[in-house]
């Protein structure tokens, strides 16, 4: 059942978005075939994820059970405790049995104390057997279950606040990035952006955080081109936007990034601190951060199960492919990735209203009929995923520094979003690729969105492409090319892993036996136990 107010397509006092959407004459048999192929590509990856764990999955389990804090050097206790367990008994059986066996035996009073003792070598871990294993498993399940209940409570809290304050009265939701590096500067900027009309505030992460194999601790005041994702930063920004929600009479949503080497942990922290959206793409870290493919697929499945439980909307990263590959020639790779992201998300328990599948306005504006081609791609995504709150991304690759041209391009992007019924619209900046935007730049960009949404918000009701026109033909072509690509991936010996290694997506070649974080991937042994995985799997 969809929580009240959680679906961006719900509108107050207006005709439903679905009824107003323009329609392409897509053959339903062809669409079903595309999804069938996506399932065939995705199933071996799911089996691979089921057969492995990672250091971040195991640390997320400890965090879910309440382990917080860091040592004086800033290393999280979750990392210190996991490293001690791994050094004594390995991770093939998971971290839960050795840790809770130690607690049951009285080695420490709680997880924090156990981590501190383990860090100085005063506790050694064993793999319990028989009744000891049964007692350890029961204790671990109780602790982790309490953490999941906290996540459930935060989800119910969100639903109550949406009911109290209300949702934005119009779609698409306006999504704005705020990130200075200093969380205490981010908060007033985010609140001002909400006053200017932003419905979703995204706090972009500091450059390079995705490559850290730990989650920094506490409120941070320094960051390059972004602000660190930490539990305390999540808490502070959520509280600030709750104040704005009360002030403005509409619930303002908060977004961050569950990607990189700590994807499962950050997803867990997001659930505990009531974030509303998380960037969470199945292949982004592989392609653009050179993170090992197996590590990424294992981590993303766990993180999506957490997001499903927490009622968090995911945003996927297909727009990034078009920053390295041509947006016309590679359009079908975006569609293929959307279909795969949909399969992986639903397999992990996410509902349609949680699928903020990505796509972008990135065709070179000098290409003849570029706007019509953009409409074709946006309409294809909208019709393939009619119940999903698609996330429409602004032009970046062909922004030149000419702010007047950039402002016009952003206006065309906003217009395409209205014409094709997008669900989440990231605000484009005329200063893209020039400087980090000033508050005045954001104000002008928000004016652009507000004008177009007000002037053309219902245009989707009237826009119906000609059945034999360029827009319809282009959409059919991209769908056909997508099916061809999925067919070729199915025929690969190792399917998707081979396709990624061959540079199929974003022109990036990423072999399955290379990449950052590979040493944190562990095949499961018989008797592996992880109460977080078990409880999330049961709910799925």
Q: Supply the residues annotated as catalytic.
A: 284, 319, 391
* Helix, strand and coil in the chain, % to nearest 5: 55, 5, 40
Rounded distance between C-alpha atoms, residue 455 and residue 463, angstroms? 14
Name 288's Cβ contacts closer than 8 Å, sequence gap at least 6: 317, 320, 506, 508
10 Å CB burial of residue 27 (0-12, 13-18, 19+) is exposed
Rounded distance between C-alpha atoms, residue 474 and residue 489, angstroms? 23
Token reading at 475: 């959409």
Rounded distance between C-alpha atoms, residue 298 and residue 352, angstroms? 22
Q: Which helix (H) or strand (E) holds 255?
A: strand 253-257
Rounded distance between C-alpha atoms, residue 368 and residue 405, angstroms? 17
Residue 346 · residue 309 · CB < 8 Å: no
How many CB atoms are located within 10 Å of the residue 232 CB?
17
Rounded distance between C-alpha atoms, residue 251 and residue 398, angstroms? 34
Of 475, 479, 503, the C-alpha closest to 489 is 503
10 Å CB burial of residue 37 (0-12, 13-18, 19+) is buried
Alpha carbon of residue 503 to chain centroid = 22
């Amino acid at each position: 059942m969809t929580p009240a107010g959680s679906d961006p397509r719900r509108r107050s006092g207006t005709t439903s978005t679905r009824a107003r959407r323009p329609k392409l004459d897509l053959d339903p048999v062809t669409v079903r075939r595309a999804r069938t192929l996506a399932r065939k590509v995705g199933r071996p990856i799911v089996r691979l994820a089921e057969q492995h764990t990672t250091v971040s999955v195991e640390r997320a389990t400890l965090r879910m059970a309440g382990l917080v804090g860091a040592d004086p050097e800033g290393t999280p206790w979750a990392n210190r405790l996991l490293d001690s367990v791994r050094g004594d008994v390995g991770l093939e059986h998971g971290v839960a049995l050795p840790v809770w066996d130690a607690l049951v035996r009285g080695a420490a009073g709680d997880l924090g104390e156990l981590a501190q003792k383990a860090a100085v070598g005063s506790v050694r871990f064993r793999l319990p057997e028989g009744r000891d294993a049964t007692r350890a498993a029961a204790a671990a399940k109780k602790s982790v279950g309490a953490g999941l209940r906290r996540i459930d409570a935060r989800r119910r809290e969100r639903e109550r606040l949406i009911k109290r304050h209300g949702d934005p009265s119009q779609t698409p939701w306006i999504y704005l990035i705020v990130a200075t590096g200093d969380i205490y500067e981010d908060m007033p900027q985010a609140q001002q952006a909400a006053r200017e009309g932003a419905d979703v505030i995204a706090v972009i992460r500091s450059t390079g955080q995705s490559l850290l194999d730990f989650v920094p601790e506490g409120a941070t005041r320094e960051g390059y081109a972004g602000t660190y994702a930490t539990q305390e930063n999540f808490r502070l920004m959520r509280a600030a936007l709750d104040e704005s929600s009360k002030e403005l009479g509409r619930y303002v949503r908060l977004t961050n990034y569950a990607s990189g080497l700590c994807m499962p942990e950050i997803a867990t922290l997001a659930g505990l601190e009531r974030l509303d959206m998380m960037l969470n793409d199945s292949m982004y870290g592989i392609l653009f951060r050179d993170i090992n493919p197996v590590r990424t697929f294992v981590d993303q499945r766990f993180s999506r199960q957490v997001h499903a439980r927490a009622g968090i909307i995911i945003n996927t990263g297909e727009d990034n492919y078009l920053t390295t590959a041509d947006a016309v020639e590679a359009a079908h790779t975006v569609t293929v990735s959307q279909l795969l992201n949909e399969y992986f998300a639903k397999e992990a328990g996410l509902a349609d209203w949680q699928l903020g599948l990505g796509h972008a306005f990135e065709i070179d504006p000098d290409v003849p009929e570029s706007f019509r081609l953009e409409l074709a791609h946006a309409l294809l995504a909208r019709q393939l995923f009619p119940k999903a709150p698609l996330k429409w991304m602004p032009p970046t690759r062909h922004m030149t520094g000419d702010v007047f041209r950039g402002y016009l391009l952003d206006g065309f992007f906003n217009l395409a979003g209205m014409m094709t019924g997008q669900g989440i619209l990231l605000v484009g900046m005329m200063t893209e690729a020039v400087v980090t935007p000033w508050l005045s730049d954001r104000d002008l960009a928000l004016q652009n969105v507000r004008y177009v949404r007000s002037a053309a918000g219902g245009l989707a009701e009237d826009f119906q492409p000609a059945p034999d026109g360029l827009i319809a033909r282009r959409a059919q072509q991209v769908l056909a090319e997508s099916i061809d690509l999925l067919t070729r991936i199915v025929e690969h010996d190792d399917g998707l892993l081979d396709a990624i290694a061959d540079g199929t997506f974003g022109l990036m070649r990423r072999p399955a036996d290379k990449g950052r974080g590979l040493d944190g991937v562990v095949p499961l042994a018989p008797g592996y136990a992880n109460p977080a995985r078990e409880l999330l799997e049961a709910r799925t």
